[in-house]
Structure 1
Amino acid sequence: MHYHFSIPEAQTQYINIAVEMTTAEAQTTLQFPTWRPGRYELGNFAKNVRYFKVTDAEGKEIVAKKTSHSVWTVDTANTDKITVKYQYYAAELNAGSTFLDKTQLYVNPVNCCVYNPSLMEEKCTVTFEVPETWQLASSFDKEGDVYSAKDVHELMDTPFIWSPNLQMQTYEMGGTLFYVWFNGEVKPQWDKIIKDFKAFTEKQIEKFTEFPVKEYHFIFQITPYKLYHGVEHQKSTVIALGPSYAVFEELYTEFLGVSSHELYHTWNVKAIRPIEMMPYDYTKENYSPMGYLCEGVTTYMGDLFLMKSGVFDMEQYFKEMRTQLQRHFDNPGRFNHSVAESSFDTWLDGYVPGAPGRKVSIYVEGCLMAFVTDVMIRRHTDNKRGLDEVMRQLYFNYGAKGIGVSEADYKAMIENVAGVSFDWLFEEYLHGTKGYEAILYDCFEYLGIEMLHEPSKKYSEGRLGFKVLESATSCVLKAIYPGGPADMAGAMLEDNVVAVNNCKVNGDLDKWLNYFDDDIKVLTVERKGQLVELTMPEVQRYFYSTYDLKLTENPDKNQRFALDAWSK
């Protein structure tokens, strides 16, 4: 199949795409992807297509019958070649989208490339009509003006940016050439970037002993507005981050974190992949309970390798882990839905809050269980092995061979490395809803780390059991602690608190709550156009807590040894 992209009217944000393909059957199926790897939800990208037309080898139009939301069938009994032409609307800019304006052509082919399922293993070639002054950031192979991917899977996994504003530098590590591309308004601090990227790249390669590909591209879309998103690919990653002025200031930790995370995906997910996703099926949901491996282990390892490489110090690492702890303990869904069940259900509502208290996050709970797995392996091997050894063996025994990993495979590999049964982990935690608190305390203590918690200093959270999104004009309830005062008073999510004891709230809710500390507190809320009064009952306990980590002041020699082995 050959794809041609042109952008004659960039201001419309429609990309012109033409696809030439051979036909060997009486009827040819044309399939549009319905989701993209790295995002476990349906995308139904065909919704952005217009002017879909098919012609035969002589240029004569033939009927393309749409048989589902993302499939067309074409009668090809009398032709050995067809050309498919259409326009794709590209108006969304994030790390997994496709976007066009006068400054760039940014494409994730899995969004916009129709394909013939019977030609999945065939080579794909790509050409472009773009301004001569534009430069390409991509991992495509190139011969002259023709770019190529070895098959449809590689095409779908090869994002690219054409732009006149690209900035790039490279570094080499372990025989692989790494490109760092920036697009958008940004002033890269190259010395700082290359030093830190070399450090965490070297450490990740050291643990796996090899990098899966010989060329890798970090492609950054930097925006003038707030954005944080990354998507993994075998030979590249696209990371969208903003605002521009903050990237190398207050957002630099996030910049490093998402970069390390996406690099680790090169082994985990792009090579070590759940058996249910080997190979990817772009036509439907790819259900798997193993989000805790795909995203949880990657979240854990991405931050851990920043510490192991010296890019993060211990306190910076603790800051990231505190965030995971806070998200876990704030979510009552941990009592109702296991991380494995939540993984399977990402296809329902994986990236929005969904029904309150129903599910957990494969990133958060997966990260915490990866930490527990790591520490427990170290405990049973006198700190000689850890989760990184499990992942290394999964890579060489499965990922590098193109073999999918089942839950049984993952469990067996953990047990082989640790030398003990991990039935309890899978039954009680990954597939169960047993509380994490005790085992987290135990694992942190093994390393000489104290996990601390105290009631939230915000009156609304600690004393009344609700969280708000507050601004100068609104104060909206976003979380309610089950059985807390707000819950018992009849508060509902999305209630807008307008007054406390008849005193109007203007971005100062907690000040009013503290002022009325010794009084009965009556909250006036706006609910769907009506004003409702909620009387908060007096309860002698605390609700939402904040979590912290710190090193034990006087660790014993075993804790010092364990911490050193884990963090280096």
Structure 2
Amino acid sequence: MKRFLALSVLAALSPSAFADVNYSLEITQPEHHLGNVSVAFPQTAQAHLDVKLPAWRTGRYEILNLANGVRFFQAKDDEGKALNWEKINASTWRVHLDEPTDVQIDYQVYANELGKRARHIDDSHAFIDASGFFMFSESFRQEPVTVTLDVPKAWRSVSGMDNAGSKHSFKAADYDVLVDSPIETGLNEHHTFKVGGRDYELVIWGEGNYDVDLMLKDLKKLVTTGNVIWDDYPYERYVFMVHATSGAGGATEHLNSTIIQRPRDRFGSREDYLAFISTAAHEFIHTWNVKAYRPEGLVPYDYTNMNFDKLLWIAEGSTSYFEDHLMVRSGISTTDEFFKSLTKTVNRHLLTPGRDVQSATETSFDKWINQGGDHARNYSTNIYLEGSLISMALDIDLLENSQGKQSYRDVHRALYNLHKLPQGFSVDNVKAILKDLTGRDYSTWWAANVDSPAKIDFDILLNKVGLVLERPKGAKTLASVDAMAKNSGELLTLTHVRRGGAAWQAGLTTADKIVAINKKHVGKDLKASLETFKAGDKVTVDFIRRDALKSTTLTLTEDFDKAKKIVVNKEATEQQMALFKAWMGVDHPNLVK
């Protein structure tokens, strides 16, 4: 009797101590993207149990309002009797309890958001990110969970989680592991391989022009590169999930898996394939950077609110920076392909007026609320682009000042060794690592390049590693209005007007429809319509705004038919070539016969 009372008291104080949280998903009407979810919570003596569906999912710093797909919510006690409940905010259901009881929650989920990589069900598969399907309670968040799927007989289910007794059931240590371990179930292609004593899987849903043998060959190369930066691997098993889709694209990192989506016909060409495999490299790096260590504003995840932090440029931008390095070091891509990729990044930066307005610190903190479109391009930047280039600038600075002995890789190695989860890292932690590595205080550098809009001189920076940013020979000058347009039938509609440029100063803006330049009709191509002019010419532009014909004058500026490219400096010194080798891990192209 005493033991029973003691257990009862302990259960009341710690209601989640003795049982798992059990989830089940039944695919009921796949053609209508519907499934039924049941959640069994252990006994609790609380006055009420709040159950929540995340408002966003990890890897996408944006409120997605995932609760909008929930219908037919019900709550029952351990005898199957209905419990009273009320919805208290956008993502929280409060279940009222009169006495200690187990609680079962049932509801329907509408899952037709493939591109968000949170939930999707159709007649060929289901992609299950727990954020979009499975409610949780803070009271039981740390408890073990199981997931059981009721799916068509021919379907295969794959996840980074371990199986729990059957091929369609899985188990995880807690809800945080569940939410970071998506499940791909359906009619899919499945491959396994082993590298370095670790197990890997490649599962592909959808038909496309991909070459599975090439994918497997390069993934085997990629997964050997972890020790280029870190001392060990944070997993024993890793799953690459690939969707060959009818349009959705993107990717998301998870604890020991990733989901990569590409249009089904965007795998075949070398350019498309490199885009795929570099995405795989990006998500692979995230297994350390974000999933093993991450900024303190993301620790622990608050699934129902924005998780602000000033270091998202390290979480995402540094990951983007390292992906090309692993591709080159593993032999998946060539140095020429790397130069082409880096050229695109640099030119995007130079053509983004927002780079002079918003710092990496600001764009990191504002990632949750940043706009898209023309205003963003003119007044903002993004964590991927700026973070990548700031990472490069810091990397080359470290290499140059240490004669190639210290690099940005050492910073991330230290972040992994010193700030593994469950703790996060701060700005001061990163600065401390930099000082410990170099003996130098990076506060002034940080203020100039991270807390302020970065002013990167690419001519000086690239020269240090034996490269040059130059205009291709034979490039021709063009007249420009400093704007971009798309054909919208008979007229061209402005889609981007560069802040401070010719069109901007003349008062033109996005959505204006260009009718004529100097009273001559503008055709389907804005550049072609400007071929008879030269920089410095003053022209009259007729355009339609709010269905009314208007006119303005502007002075054309100079542009070129070919953008600048990063190429090898044929006169690179031994010191520059040595720094290139320390930077990229391969010989400078001048030394390659």
TM-score when scaled to structure 2? 0.90
Does the alignment pair 1:2 with 2:25?
no
C-alpha distance in structure 2 between counterparts of 1:114 and 1:21, whole Å: 11
Question: Aligned with 1:99: secondary structure?
Answer: strand
Match of 1:430 in 2: 450
Partner of 2:541: 523
Matched, 1:503 2:528: no
Change (3 A) 1:473 1:383: farther
Q: Which AA in structure 1 matches 2:98? A: A
CA gap 1:352/1:89 in 2 versus in 1, 3 angstroms:
farther
CA contact (8 A) 2:267 2:276 kept: no
Asked whether the 8 Å contact 1:95–1:231 carries over to 2, the reply is no
Aligned to 2:37: 17
After superposition, give the CA deviation of every residue in 1:181-212 in whole Å (9 maximum; x if it has no partner).
11101354233222212222212334313210
* Partner residue in 2 for 1:447: 465
Who is 2:306 aligned against? 285
1:7-43 Cα deviation digits (max 9, x unpaired) = 2211221211111102231211111111111111111
Equivalent in the alignment of 1:215: 237
Q: What is aligned with 1:85?
A: 106
Change (3 A) 1:470 1:420: farther
Q: Using the TM superposition, give the Cα deviation of residue 471 of structure 1 relative to its aligned residue in structure 2, in angstroms.
A: 6.2
Q: Which moved more, 1:57-66 or 1:193-202?
A: 193-202
* Partner amino acid, structure 1, of 2:501: G
Alignment of 1:159-558 (within 5 A): 159-164=182-187, 166-186=188-208, 188-225=210-247, 227-244=248-265, 246-247=267-268, 249-349=270-370, 355=376, 357-399=378-420, 402-436=422-456, 438=457, 440-452=458-470, 463-470=480-487, 473-517=490-534, 520-537=538-555, 546-558=563-575
SS of the residue 1:282 aligns to: coil
**Alpha carbons 1:169, 1:179 under 8 Å: kept:** yes
Alpha-carbon displacement from aligned partner over 1:119-148 (angstroms, at most 9, x marks no partner): 111011111111111101211211323311
* Identity rate, percent: 27
TM-superposed deviation, 1:470? 4.1
Match of 1:154 in 2: 177
Letter in 2 for 1:480: V
Cα distance in 2 for partners of 1:338, 1:353 equals 18
Contact 1:465 1:544 in 2 (8 A): no
Q: Counterpart of 1:181 in structure 2: which amino acid?
A: V
Pick from 53, 60, 63 the counterpart of residue 81 of structure 2.
60
Number of residue pairs aligned between Structure 1 and Structure 2: 561
Q: CA deviation at 1:456?
A: 13
1:501 CA drift (Å) = 2.9
Counterpart residue type for residue 112 of structure 2: A
Q: Partners of 2:100 and 2:377 in 1: how far apart? A: 55
Which ranges of structure 1 fall in alignment gaps of 5 or more residues?
Answer: none
Look up the equivalent residue of 1:502 and give its one-letter code.
K
Q: Say if 2:266 and 2:272, in contact at 8 Å, map to a contact too.
A: no
Larger Rg: 2
Q: Which runs of 5+ in 2 are unaligned?
A: 1-20, 586-593
Aligned partner of 1:559 among 566, 572, 576: 576
Question: Which residue is 2:4 aligned to?
Answer: none
Matched residue type, 1:170: T
Which region of structure 1 is more displaced relative to structure 2, 258-267 or 383-392? 383-392
SS in 1 for 2:115: coil
What amino acid maps onto 2:180 in structure 1? D
Q: CA RMSD in A?
A: 2.3
Over 3 Å counting, the alpha-carbon distance change for 1:265 and 1:198 in structure 2 is same
State whether residues 411 and 434 of structure 2, in contact with CA within 8 Å, keep that contact through their aligned partners in structure 1: yes
SS at match of 1:241: strand
Counterpart of 1:467, as a letter, is M
Q: Which moved more, 1:108-117 or 1:167-176?
A: 167-176
Deviation at residue 76 of structure 1 after TM alignment: 1.7
CA 1:428–1:544 in structure 2 vs 1: closer, same or farther (change >3 Å)? farther
CA distance in 2, matches of 1:24, 1:244: 55
Would the aligned equivalents of 1:55 and 1:62 in 2 still touch at CA under 8 Å?
A: yes
1:393 positional shift: 1.7
Q: Does the Cα contact within 8 Å between 1:474 and 1:506 map onto a contact in 2?
A: yes
Q: Give the 3 Å change call, closer, same or farther, for CA 14–299 of structure 1 in structure 2.
A: same
TM-score, reference length from structure 1: 0.93
Structure 2: how far apart are the matches of 1:418 and 1:292?
A: 22
Q: Which residue identity is paired with 1:94? A: G
